[in-house]
Structure 1
Amino acid sequence: MRTPAALPALAVVLALEACSLSPRYQRPSVPTPPPSYKEAGEWKVAAPADSTPRGRWWTMFNDQALDDLETQVSEANQSLRAALARLEQARAETRSARAASFPTLTAEASATRQRTSLNAPTYAPGRPTTGNVFIAEGVLGYELDLFGRVR
């Protein structure tokens, strides 16, 4: 009787598994947070701070270097505002350029009241001379970009 070739390989794997020298795994204990923020020890009720200075709050430190830094930041903010405005302008132009790749829908409606002259060649006796004309139009258009003009 012949032994299958996999049997010696299985015996080697089982023998190596028995020689493991690593310590047994023990799950570390992890403190769980409280289920509600109110049960945490650091939580407290908000208290109004009306005595806290508003506006130029950094002046309470009486530090000239801090005052100079705040002045420098305030002046630099103007250039940041200009850069932000340029960014918004570029985004708007990009949206406008991308709009060409979407379908366009145009709708128009009008209502007029007209009176036909009794001397007009189209006047039919017995018909009213005054009438209302209501017009509603809608156009849906889409340009196929076969040659890449829109991009």
Structure 2
Amino acid sequence: MTDREELIEKINAAIFTPVRTRSSYDMTHVDDFLDALVVALRQGRPVEPLVDMVRFSTVRFREGYQAHEVDRFLDHVVLDSKALPALDATAGPVPSAPVAEPDGAEMDSAVPVQPVPEAQAVEPGVIEEQRGLIGRLFRR
């Protein structure tokens, strides 16, 4: 397993302490951002700019993740990602194997095989907090 795959596994296995009584990060926003980090790592993009620009919405009296745990984890992810070797984007396409035609004859494929891209990650920006029942009732 490569270092990049180990970091992806570390992100996927991250568990944070849920809290209700203190101000904390919205769980769905944190989970969505971690998914975007995994996509960025698989595409070979740097994760430091993503982590630097993310601002999670905070929740209170709803279940959320402890903010300092999430921040500390993201700091470790950035440090680990800096140690990763860059993906070689200049490498040519993988040589294609001969393709068998329906009648059994073989011919060389002129079209290189391209990997299917994973779900496109949207660069996270400022995330607005979802309004609760009281906010919707009083339009706050």
TM-score bin, normalised by smaller chain: under 0.3
Calculate the TM-score normalised by the size of structure 1: 0.20
Calculate the TM-score normalised by the size of structure 2: 0.21
Q: Which has the higher strand share?
A: 1
Task: Find the structure with the greater CA-based Rg.
Answer: 1
